[in-house]
Amino acid sequence: MSVGRETRLSAWIERFAAHFAEEGIPLIGGRILGYLLVCQPTERTAAELSQELEASSGSISTNLKFLVNAGLVTKRTRRGRQAAQYRINEKRWVDLIQRKLDALVSVRELTESGMRLMSGDPERAMRLRTVDDLYTWLATELPAVWDRRPPSSR
Amino acid sequence: MSVGRETRLSAWIERFAAHFAEEGIPLIGGRILGYLLVCQPTERTAAELSQELEASSGSISTNLKFLVNAGLVTKRTRRGRQAAQYRINEKRWVDLIQRKLDALVSVRELTESGMRLMSGDPERAMRLRTVDDLYTWLATELPAVWDRRPPSSR
DNA sequence: TCGTCACTTCAGTGCCGACCGAAGTGTCGG
DNA sequence: CCGACACTTCGGTCGGCACTGAAGTGACGA
């Protein structure tokens, strides 16, 4: 008995959502993202998502709003039709990654201001210095990586 | 009326803890980290941390256990003394960053398996492909960055 | 063996975020 | 206007995590 592609896809969507749930994205939001990445046709209404993902209309609404606001999902309205269509905006995925990298690098501002508070006491600053060196390293390396991001993401 | 260094340091510790709280580290755990990075002398007992950070002995215990387990704090016991000493293990901070970078790169496994499920339908795979390209880029660039990490972290 | 001390464990509390579903809002065609 | 429909808002519930403080554990010196 073989497992259909759609069944395997919904299992994949679930793993996908679970990963982003660990990063703070609500489960249902992650499911929407995974689903919109692979569904055919590419556009869905809120009602369709609600049925397909077995989530309440309220949760779909809240999460779509969040995702549209983040730029990851695009809402398309049509004259003469009441239901808007939602589709993934995969070009904006790079923003998600940028935010992650920025969050990492931003710790440097903390360690730097800490180092300033310690100036005049190099002995005491040694521990913080090791950590500060790490974030300084990241802050110098990551922008160069950023410049090599794939053309498909620009 | 000038503000003392120690006062400014506790404000710094609070900002430090707040940042890591956003990344899922309990507030008190973050405070312990910040405090142990800058305190003089460098070692503290659980009771001292409890008093200094105004946290219950239970919270200090739980969080120290977590931090020691993560390798970021080292416990030192002494014969003839009942109270263990805790100090920051700043060399292990690099592990924290590695986990962050690994988490980013690991998404690639998800996108890859998704792409495999889509094989035979390039049209439908287009959206996922854009995202997969991004994580493939990260997976090829970040190891090189890793190799250039500062000597103080090895 | 006993009391003291330092830490750990754990039950209880409070808080916060995700989620649901019903009520509300707005928009459309008729 | 009116009813139908699509979405949004909102009160309420639930589960999970951080935290507390008291009871428990174990190690030490006397």
Q: What is the per-residue pLDDT for B3?
A: 78
pLDDT in the model for residue A81:
62
Give the model's pLDDT for residue A78.
Answer: 75
B41 touches chain A (CB under 8 A): no
pLDDT in tens, B67-76: 999 999 999 9
Q: Does B145 touch chain A (CB under 8 A)?
A: yes
How far apart CA A129 and CA B31 sit, in angstroms, is: 18
What distance in Å separates residue A110's CA from the closest CA in chain B? 7
Query: What pLDDT does residue A24 have?
Result: 92
Check CB contact of A77 with chain B, cutoff 8 Å.
no
Is residue A23's beta carbon less than 7 angstroms from any atom in nucleic acid strand C?
no
pLDDT single digits (tens) A119-146: 989 999 999 999 999 999 999 999 999 9
Q: What is the mean pLDDT of residues B115-132?
A: 96
Residue A77, pLDDT > 90, answer: no
Beta-strand relationship, A85-88 and B73-76: unpaired
B100 neighbourhood in chain A, CB within 8 Å: 104
Q: Is A94 on the interface with B (CB under 8 A)?
A: yes
Assign A39 a pLDDT band (cuts: 50, 70, 90).
Answer: very high
Stretch 97-126 of chain A: residues touching chain B, C-beta under 8 Å: 97, 100-101, 103-104, 106-107, 110, 113-114, 117-118, 124
Single pTM value for the model? 0.91
State the pLDDT at residue B80.
64
What percent of chain B shows pLDDT beyond 70?
97
- Tokens for B114? 């998704």
Task: Please give the structure tokens belonging to residue B47.
Answer: 């009771």
Pairwise CA distance, residues A21 & A138, whole Å? 26
Q: What's the farthest any 2 CA atoms get from each other in chain B?
A: 73
pLDDT value for B82? 67
- Which pLDDT belongs to residue B38? 96
Which of B117, B134, B142 has the CB atom closest to A12's CB atom?
B117
Structure tokens at B125: 């795979």
Q: How many CA atoms lie within 13 A of B45 on its CB side?
A: 9
Considering only the beta carbons, identify the residue of A103, A114, A152 that sits closest to B12. A114
Q: How far apart are the first and last CA of chain B?
A: 44
How does A86-102 read in b/e, with b if 16+ C-beta sit within 10 Å?
bbbbbbbbbebbeebbe
pLDDT over 90, % of chain B: 86
Q: What is the mean pLDDT of residues A64-86?
A: 87
Helix or strand or coil: residue A94?
helix
B23 → chain A, closest CA residue: A23
**What is the average pLDDT value for chain B, to the nearest integer?**
93
pLDDT of residue B20: 96
Confidence of residue B126 (pLDDT cuts 50, 70, 90): very high
Q: Residue ranges of the alpha helices (H) in B42-154?
A: 46-52, 57-70, 93-117, 122-147
Mean pLDDT of A22-43: 95
Q: Residue A128 is nearest to which of B37, B138, B142, comparing CB atoms?
A: B37
